[in-house]
Amino acid sequence: MADKSDKKQHYISHSESRQIAKENSKAIRTFEKAKKRKVRPEEYITEMKDPNNIVEFDDLHTYFFSDAGTVKAVNGVTFSVPAGSTVGVVGESGCGKSVTSLSLMRLVQAPSGQIVSGSIRFRADMFKRDARGRKIPVYETETDENGNEVPKLDSRGKKIVKKNDLGGTMYEMETQVVDIAKMPTDAMRTIRGREISMIFQEPMTSLNPVFTIGNQLDEVGKLHIEGISKERVRARSIEMLKLVGIADPEGVYKKYPHELSGGMRQRVMIAIALLCNPKLIVADEPTTALDVTIQAQILDLLREIKGKINGSIMLITHDLGVVAEMADYVVVMYAGKVIEMGTAEDIFDRPLHPYTIGLQKSKPTVEEESDELYCIPGFVPNPINMPNYCYFRDRCDKCMEKCSGEYPGYVQVTPTHKVACYLYGDGAGEPAKEEKANG
Ligand SMILES: Nc1ncnc2c1ncn2[C@@H]1O[C@H](COP(=O)(O)OP(=O)(O)O)[C@@H](O)[C@H]1O
Ligand code: SF4
Ligand SMILES: [Mg+2]
């Protein structure tokens, strides 16, 4: 039961509440104003720290300015997604996994939710623009009698726009590394859905109940594959339904979401996510709402698809079992921070942080016969008033005197494995905020 001091800690007086409201509105106004400002490309075009990565989160802070105070949902998160790999992000519910992925999509619920600081670097194929900011089409060419390459003209003497292999207008592109956290909102629209797509836990909340599956697939195709014909967009939608293992794609194309099972709906969501050949798929608890057997099928499908599209997957889950099956790299989060990261072998065979060890123990196994599942004792600290010391201290059975000091920095245990805990290295660690982890 909560004692008096505990109650006092959670009680907000009228004047405190007024003070919080005042500070919130000031902070929100500043962030919203910054979003409306015209951002020059120099402010968000950047460089990747490691050219092999497709995404680099760097000291990302995303906060919610709530009536009870500031919720530091993502509090200095640094990790990378190497191109072509699957990175699993794990941790208990509420540790900031979804807010990390929503920050990447720039879909954090504003105005209370804001990316406060840090970077999200992403290697994007961006449209080249002319001096007036318009996209530059690519034209068909031919060789003239002098051997020069000249634009091919149609019967009316107009240049013919080249089509890409999806049947859409081809534009001049350039690969640029952008900082998504600092990008203008309209530029982000060309990345979201086209370069990065997201699969959510509950497909019914993302599918519109009043439109057919076909309508919804076609809509996304039309939006992102500019200039595509009606027939090509329909053919592409059906091709994607086939790719995600739907046996009767033409039939499903005509159906409404409520006519499909949960597993089928999640397949449709994956088909939508794949429509534009994204480089990165963010899957946020994609199997949590499904039966165990269907879960396995969807995971198989994701694995199969990753091979086909040659892209990367950021897989978010509270379930270590899912990560064990899928991920090349694992990032463990606790209370808005990354507390350990490494390859899947590092995390599963040699877990170091007492929290990761606890998570492993709480994972049900077939081999061990036990009536009760292990549960990490204690609670995550209140997200509004985080302590200065290790956030896991009050639940940790390895806690030492120095654990009550400053929040532990990262210790690089092997080239791929790092952990924020005083048990490792010389026990000192580097200050976490200065460490630029590269998972
Ligand atoms: N829209 C919101 N408003 C206020 N707080 C939020 C909002 N969304 C998430 N949070 C808070 O942010 C923290 C991280 O949430 P989330 O990223 O959804 O966790 P999870 O790891 O389960 O995906 C939690 O403390 C949650 O209460
Ligand atoms: S720093 Fe200390 S309290 Fe925190 S996890 Fe490590 S041993 Fe436990
Ligand atoms: Mg979540």
Which ligand lies nearest the alpha carbon of 97? 1
The pLDDT-based confidence of 226 (bands split at 50, 70, 90) is confident
**DSSP per-residue string spanning 75-117:** EEEEEEEETT-EEEEE-STTSSHHHHHHHHHT---TTTEEEEE
87-91, 197-201, 305-309, 364-368: segment of lowest average pLDDT: 364-368
Nearest CA to ligand 1 atom 11: 73
Centroid of ligand 2 to alpha carbon of 342 (angstroms): 18
Domain that holds residue 372: 25-128+175-195+278-434
Which ligand lies nearest the alpha carbon of 24? 1
Q: Which atom of ligand 2 is nearest to the CA of 408?
A: 1
Residue 361 belongs to some domain of the structure = yes
Residue 336 belongs to some domain of the structure = yes
Task: Give the residue among 327, 249, 257, 263 at the shortest CA–CA distance from 298.
Answer: 263
Torsion of CA 246, 277, 199, 81, to 10 degrees: 130
What's residue 368's pLDDT?
59
For 288, other C-beta atoms within 10 Å of its C-beta total 14
Nearest CA to ligand 2 atom 6: 421
Residues 6+ apart with CB under 8 A from 220: 193, 272, 275, 276
Q: Which atom of ligand 2 is nearest to the CA of 354?
A: 5
Residue 239 belongs to some domain of the structure = no
Residues 6+ apart with CB under 8 A from 62: 73, 74, 96, 99, 100, 102, 103, 108, 113, 114, 115, 116
What's residue 91's pLDDT?
93
What's residue 26's pLDDT?
93
* Separation between Cα atoms, residue 196 and residue 428, nearest integer Å: 38
What's residue 32's pLDDT?
92
Residues 6+ apart with CB under 8 A from 288: 201, 317, 318, 319
Q: Which atom of ligand 2 is nearest to the CA of 397?
A: 8
Residue 120's SS3 state is: strand
Digit-coded pLDDT (tens) for 132-166: 888 999 999 999 889 998 989 988 989 999 988 88
Assess whether the C-beta atom of 64 lies below 6 angstroms from ligand 1: yes
Centroid of ligand 1 to alpha carbon of 73 (angstroms): 6
pLDDT at 434 over 50: no
Residue 167 belongs to some domain of the structure = no
Tokens 């959510």 identify what position? 200
37-41, 44-48, 223-227, 229-233: segment of lowest average pLDDT: 223-227
SS3 breakdown of the chain: % helix, strand, coil, rounded to 5? 35, 25, 40
* Separation between Cα atoms, residue 364 and residue 325, nearest integer Å: 14
Rounded to two decimals, what is the model's pTM? Answer: 0.90
In angstroms, what CA-CA distances link 398 with 11, 115, 393? Answer: 32, 34, 9
Nearest CA to ligand 1 atom 24: 94
Is residue 328 left, alpha or beta, with left meaning phi > 0 and alpha meaning psi from -120 to 50? alpha
For 277, other C-beta atoms within 10 Å of its C-beta total 15
Centroid of ligand 3 to alpha carbon of 235 (angstroms): 34
Q: CATH number, domain at 350?
A: 3.40.50.300
Cis before residue 111, ω within 30 degrees of 0? yes
Digit-coded pLDDT (tens) for 324-342: 889 999 999 999 999 999 9
Residue 323 belongs to some domain of the structure = yes
Digit-coded pLDDT (tens) for 269-298: 999 998 888 999 999 999 888 888 888 888
Q: Residue 64, Cα to own-chain centre: how many angstroms?
A: 18
Digit-coded pLDDT (tens) for 71-108: 999 999 999 999 999 999 999 999 999 999 999 999 99
Assess whether the C-beta atom of 420 lies below 6 angstroms from ligand 2: no
What's the average model confidence in pLDDT over 168-195?
91
Q: Which atom of ligand 1 is nearest to the CA of 333?
A: 21
Q: How many domains does the chain have?
A: 1
Residue 43 belongs to some domain of the structure = yes
Assess whether the C-beta atom of 376 lies below 6 angstroms from ligand 2: no
| Ligand 2 mutation pick, 357, 400, 401, max ligand atoms within 8 A of CB | 400
Residue 218 belongs to some domain of the structure = no
Residue 65 belongs to some domain of the structure = yes
Nearest CA to ligand 1 atom 23: 98
Structural tokens at position 403: 């654990």
Q: Which atom of ligand 1 is nearest to the CA of 316?
A: 23
Torsion of CA 221, 224, 226, 230, to 10 degrees: 10
